[in-house]
Amino acid sequence: MQIEGAILDIDYLLDKERGLIRVTFKGGDGKAYELFDGGFWPYFYLLPNAEMDADELMRLLSGVDASAKEVKAVKKRVGGVESTLYKVVVSSPLEVPKLSSRATRYGMCYEYDIPFAKRYAIDNDIVPLSSYVAEVEERDGRLFIKSMKRSNGNAVNFNILWFDIEVYNPLGVPRAGKDPVIMISYSYKSGGRSGASVLTYKSIAKDFVHSVKNEKELFSEFISKVKELDIDIISGYNTANFDIKYMLERAQLLGISFNLSRFEGDTKLEKHGLVERVKIAGRVHVDMYNVVKFISIVGATENILRFNNKTLKSVYEAISGNKKTTVEKTDIFKLWDGGRKELEELAEYNLSDSLALQKVYDTFSPITIELARETGDVLSDVAVSTTGQLVDYLLMRHAAMAGEIVPNKPDDNEMRKRERNPIEGAYVKTPEPGIYDNLVVFDFRGLYPSIIISYNIDPATVCKDCADYYESPLGVKFNKERGGIMPRILKEFARKRISIKQQYKKNPDDVYLGARSQALKILSNSFYGYLGYARSRWYSRDCAGSVTAYGRQYIKDAMAAAEQNGFGVLYGDTDSTILLLGNKDKDAALAFLKGFNSKLPENMELELEDFYRRGVFVGKKMEGGGGAKKKYALISESGRIKIKGFELVRRDWSKIARDTQRRVLEIILQEGNAEKAAAVVKSVIKELREGKVKLSELAISTQLRKGIGNYDVKSPELAAAKKAVERGQKRRDEVEHAVISYVVTKRGSSISDKAELEEFADSYDADYYINHQVIPATMRILKELNFDEDELKGLGTQKKL
DNA sequence: AAATGACGGGG
DNA sequence: GTGTACGTCATTT
């Protein structure tokens, strides 16, 4: 039997002690198929220390917990050197770590940590989300793959569901042990159909609301919908860390199963460092929060998204230009307990989150999908990957195709060594702080990728004695005669981008063309970071250091040329420079650009980023030699605001600190008036000194994330909670794992001693709020404008800007 | 100076 | 899960 369609996901089952590859295949007929490949086995390589034959190694490796299924000699290049290795094949992926650690006695092991499903995709050159024809046969009630070939079939339409839950939260933070899920909204596209609905168990007179009996039914109805709509991709916002996690906990408490899977397997959470992820057998979970955080900070939305918090609301507003209705999160339980109007408001809010999410998905998923197609990684992994991990995977694929052994990840010692020796970063010219009019910004297009291509920079091309080479400003030689994976991939990407741009001109409505170009840009720009990333398999100090060294040379040249042409050079960082037009006009700036570019190598180009009406410049003083921070705010002629490097304080700061910081930033951006901003800070400090500020403005909210007895260090929030429990003002369970709102009072010596729960505080420590809250929050911005603390506190005189 | 713990997103 | 995971900041020890 033949099926035409696309691969949605690849994983494996442990089937009778062996790993069995499973492919979730979406047919062009709209049906999803669970396909297996019984002919693929896990393996790793061993480069032996001493001569031994394959049979001997097989015998040496056999043990009670794991044994080799097969050992055979293969020829591969290890670090560019032709070598004979043993390929040790096993039955189960679980045997690989066991056998490879045993095998280290006999030599160096390689490729022992490549996940089985990825190994399968790499070795079979399978690219998910592209068209394939699968030849399959049925055995034991399962469909087995006989062959799988690329085809030119039509794009497959996936069935997608976007969802969001609401939770009853009388104490602020919902507690899965107590607080029920009260509503689930979803919208979907499935087959030719689309729709949106809210599920809940109170009766609400809205046509999009569907009522069920209780929370258990809410869950089962949601699961039924996912199954009935035959969903391929389930998307949410922070759903891995919240919605799905919460539903799994609730389901366990309610004694029901919560499994959204399509095929054999669970719905479960996995934690990978910072990122939590959801696995649903046969479907893909795409958490748009992770996508926004890791990948999609590109293009026109870059500044807006960097500047704002990455809440669903702010991301939606940034990309749509529309305002999103919202409710205070802490009011949700009140709306649920309220009357008809309140319930309707809650349902509408719940629905609006799913619809906003759909918009975010439509904006960013094309880039994610193109990243999957370009790297060959599955969507479920791309959606939770950093760009470094994508480059890692891309290089593994290319290395395997070229018969090159994939270098191992560094061990802890090596990693620490790398971290201790940072690579000299980019050139930064710190600007004279101030406010300037009429600016122009020039950027080198893809400076680092261009450098890697132009000078053939790659760990494998570094040479000591070679005849024909490029010598970087660091004195590192790169062999011109040898090819490297990185320049080769980057060249190919550059070529693809040019061809995509031509197609895009003819089909400007094809979002996937634009997305593909963006994806290639994201990947290209990540190679340099990967070369210098401590966990990198292809780490190279020589390469990364040479890239930045060349980069410094180029940007300095551009700045010097601009100065010679009579422009004021205000600022330069890495690959961009900001010039003062002075008495010159735009045409003069463009003429300079043209002249400068005519002298650059072929694939290098300095581009116009934009002209700006005004810029507020803040000079970040460089600490140490490392990468300096970019800090400035620009207003374009069209009113577009571009902000770099300002960090806002987080939620565990007092309201007065956050509000004052926001006001300072607004005044500086909108009015360009630093004096006025400083005056606001001074007046807030004055009010604090005079004791006029309400305690609610001063409360600091921090969650106690552990049990009260499990702390080693007495933090202010812990101290405040403990005191309240000891005095009998609070029960232990009321403060444990809860968000603690405390005020720093006058009584006590350390901050912890002074901390009291907001409701029991009767004074505040003005010095603390001035020196530890308002001043640090606002000085993040104002110190860059050469204000100092004493001056804000009214103790000194103002420095000149 | 080193260790500890929280945030981020979500409700 | 072919495991061992982010970067930064404030406060305590």
- Nearest-angstrom CA–CA distance, A778 and A663: 9
- Interval A579-626: pLDDT, tens: 999 999 999 999 999 999 999 988 899 999 899 988 877 644 433 333
What pLDDT does residue A409 have? 92
pLDDT of residue A308 exceeding 70: no
Lowest-pLDDT range of A111-115, A409-413, A567-571, A781-785: A781-785
Pairing state between β A193-200 and A209-211? parallel
What pLDDT does residue A624 have? 35
Contact (CB, 8 A) for A389 and A297: no
How confident is residue A236, by pLDDT bands cut at 50, 70 and 90?
very high
CA A257 → C1' C3, Å?
A: 27
- Those nucleotides of strand B lying less than 7 Å from any protein Cβ are 3-11
Helix A775-782 to helix A674-689 angle (10° resolution) is 170
- The answer to whether some atom of strand B lies closer than 7 Å to the beta carbon of A652 is yes
How confident is residue A509, by pLDDT bands cut at 50, 70 and 90?
confident
What pLDDT does residue A159 have? 98
pLDDT of residue A273 exceeding 50: yes
**Average pLDDT estimate for A655-676:** 84
Protein residue closest to C6, using CA and C1': A274
What pLDDT does residue A736 have? 87
Name the closest nucleotide to A533, judged by C1' and CA. Answer: C6
Residue A178, CA distances (Å) to A167, A191, A254, A754, A795 in order: 10, 38, 11, 32, 52
What pLDDT does residue A647 have? 66
**Average pLDDT estimate for A90-97:** 95
Name the closest nucleotide to A109, judged by C1' and CA. Answer: C2
**Average pLDDT estimate for A261-272:** 92
**Average pLDDT estimate for A419-445:** 85
What pLDDT does residue A738 have? 87
How confident is residue A412, by pLDDT bands cut at 50, 70 and 90?
confident
Q: Count the neighbouring beta carbons within 10 Å of the beta carbon of residue A194.
A: 11
Residue A42, CA distances (Å) to A24, A71, A84, A149, A729 in order: 20, 12, 19, 22, 60
What pLDDT does residue A666 have? 77
pLDDT of residue A278 exceeding 90: yes
Chain A residues 116 to 145 with C-beta below 7 Å from nucleic strand B = none
CA A671 → C1' C6, Å?
A: 36
Provide the percentage of residues in chain A whose pLDDT is more than 90: 72
- Those nucleotides of strand C lying less than 7 Å from any protein Cβ are 1-6, 9-13
CA A626 → C1' B2, Å?
A: 22
Mean pLDDT of chain A: 90
In angstroms, how far is CA A147 from the centroid of its own chain?
35
Protein residue closest to C7, using CA and C1': A274
Name the closest nucleotide to A771, judged by C1' and CA. Answer: C10
What pLDDT does residue A633 have? 72
pLDDT of residue A292 exceeding 50: yes
- Nearest-angstrom CA–CA distance, A211 and A214: 9
Name the closest nucleotide to A44, judged by C1' and CA. Answer: C2
**Average pLDDT estimate for A263-279:** 89
Chain A residues 682 to 701 with C-beta below 7 Å from nucleic strand B = 701
Chain A residues 577 to 596 with C-beta below 7 Å from nucleic strand B = none
What pLDDT does residue A305 have? 46
What pLDDT does residue A791 have? 83
Name the closest nucleotide to A113, judged by C1' and CA. Answer: C2
Torsion of CA A347, A352, A358, A364, to 10 degrees: -140
pLDDT of residue A298 exceeding 60: no
pLDDT of residue A43 exceeding 50: yes
What secondary structure, in 3-state letters, does A445-492 show?
A: CCHHHHHHHHCCCCCCCEECCCCCEEECCCCCEEECCCCCHHHHHHHH
- Nearest-angstrom CA–CA distance, A644 and A292: 18
Residues A285, A134, A121, A16, CA torsion sign: positive
- The answer to whether some atom of strand B lies closer than 7 Å to the beta carbon of A169 is yes
pLDDT of residue A628 exceeding 60: no
How confident is residue A640, by pLDDT bands cut at 50, 70 and 90?
low
What pLDDT does residue A621 have? 43
How confident is residue A295, by pLDDT bands cut at 50, 70 and 90?
low
Who wins on pLDDT, A669 or A757? A757
Q: What is the phi/psi pair of residue A277, to 5°? A: -140, 155
Q: What is the phi/psi pair of residue A278, to 5°? A: -110, 130
**Average pLDDT estimate for A549-574:** 94
- Nearest-angstrom CA–CA distance, A542 and A531: 9
What pLDDT does residue A419 have? 82
**Average pLDDT estimate for A398-421:** 89
CA A467 → C1' C6, Å?
A: 43
**Average pLDDT estimate for A135-145:** 96
Contact (CB, 8 A) for A125 and A401: yes
What pLDDT does residue A378 have? 95
